Amino acid sequence: MENKKINIIEYKNGCKKIILNRREALNSLTLDMINFLLKKLKEYNNDKETKFVIICSSNQKSFSSGGDLIELSTHSKTEGGVNSVIKQIYYLDHLIHTFKKPILSFVNGIVMGSGVGLSIHCSHRIVGDNVRWAMPENKIGFFPDVGTNYFLSRLGSIGLYLGMVGPHIKSEDLIKLNIANCYIPSNQFEETLNDLCNNPMIEGKNEIDSILNKYKKELTIDKKSSHIEKYNDIIERCFNRKFKSVSEIFNNLKNEILSNPDLNEKQWAINTLSNLESSCPTSVCISFDSIHRSLHLNINEIFINENRIGSRIGSRQDFSQGVQKVLIDKFHKPIFSPSSIYDISQTFIDSFFLPLNDKKKELTFSTLISKL
């Protein structure tokens, strides 16, 4: 069975391989792709003949650059709003998170936004050599979603940094943080996939692990190879989980710029503060709160919160302005309102987490299973 943007190959050993194939758009996910994936994964989850599922890309340059944000922005002008799109995305990611069978993602190249959601919830998260991973939604007036708050909230200061700033990180960082749990050199992806798809002895996780271990390699994770390892100490100082407000983070970054004798750390602080100041203030404050609130929530509760936030923030002028200026016009300085974190009240941020007025727009789940 095929879709113009997604290819499906079904193997005799019970493997179902899903290949993202929207190469011209770096596999950005449209609503029809999301719905197709949701339909197929529901089918495979209940199909006795399906032993496991693989999600990969036809393009080594990009696993998926995320959701089609231009398409999402156009939905903000319709009656259903962005809710009609993001609900489907969240149902898909929740299904992957709670999938009853092994589900593997093979990631190389660009992986951002909804591409992160498609891969991070898999039981086996394989990365190659050229990964560029990020959650940069604050830049365009949205926020880090797709269930990443489950993971970011459990990474302490590093999670706050990744969610609020959206830096690009590599395979070494992902392995260090357990966002990925297996590294295989990119030039061995094809051989690994062939082995998995054609091995007649696979019954479940044990056989899959055995095959992956044949190709799995150890990565050297040090200050030279890992952004997180290199800047871990200053990240801990500036994004301390004990901070009660975004302003404390800003103030600590400013102090590092003024007083840190280490030139590398000083430059990191300059770049990080500049990044935050050019992001949407509302988005930055929401991501701070969302990550903090998610620490003691289960995956269902986190997706419910993300749906409430996304439905509201996606209908704001900040989002449509961010998409237009950053993604369409390629002008990197949209005018956001409020224009500063210091103009944002806690009451305003709290309002994004409230139940939606229309109960039909809320997410509902029948399972609380979490295998991660």
Residue 272: what residue type? Answer: T
CA distance 361 to 341: 29
pLDDT of residue 79: 53
CATH 3.90.226.10 boundaries in the chain = 6-134+171-215, 227-361
Name which of 6, 43, 3 is nearest 27 in CA terms. Answer: 6
pLDDT of residue 336: 96
Do residues 54 and 18 lie in contact, with contact meaning Cβ atoms separated by under 8 Å?
yes
pLDDT of residue 1: 44
CA 55 to chain centre: 15
**What are the tens digits of pLDDT across the range 150-207?**
999 999 999 999 999 999 999 999 999 999 999 999 999 999 999 999 999 999 999 9
Do residues 250 and 276 lie in contact, with contact meaning Cβ atoms separated by under 8 Å?
yes
What DSSP state is assigned to residue 239?
A: S
Measure the N-to-C terminal CA separation of the chain; round to a whole number of Å: 30
Q: What is the pTM of this model?
A: 0.95
pLDDT of residue 69: 84
Tokens representing 203? 């019954």
CATH number of 227-361: 3.90.226.10
| Residue whose structure tokens are 């959701």 | 67
CA distance 135 to 114: 9
CA distance 146 to 85: 12
Length of the chain: 372
CA distance 254 to 350: 27
pLDDT of residue 330: 83
Topology of domain 6-134+171-215, CATH = 2-enoyl-CoA Hydratase; Chain A, domain 1 (3.90.226)
Q: How many CA atoms are closer than 13 Å to the CA of 112, on its beta-carbon side? A: 25
How many CB atoms are located within 10 Å of the residue 168 CB? 13
User: What strand order describes the sheet that includes 132-134?
Assistant: 62-64, 110-112, 132-134
The neighbouring-strand residues paired with 29 are: 67
pLDDT of residue 371: 46
Strands (E), the chain: 6-10, 15-20, 52-57, 62-64, 103-107, 110-112, 124-127, 132-134, 182-183
Report residues of the chain scoring pLDDT below 70. 1-2, 77-79, 367-372
pLDDT of residue 68: 85
Handedness of CA 294, 124, 362, 32 (dihedral sign): positive
Do residues 325 and 331 lie in contact, with contact meaning Cβ atoms separated by under 8 Å?
yes
Q: Which long-range contacts (CB under 8 A, 24 or more apart) does 232-240 make?
A: 232/158, 233/265, 234/260, 234/265, 234/268, 234/269, 235/157, 235/158, 235/161, 236/156, 236/157, 238/157, 238/161, 238/269, 238/272, 239/157, 239/158, 239/160, 239/161, 239/164, 240/157
Name which of 204, 206, 199 is nearest 13 in CA terms. Answer: 199
CA distance 228 to 121: 21
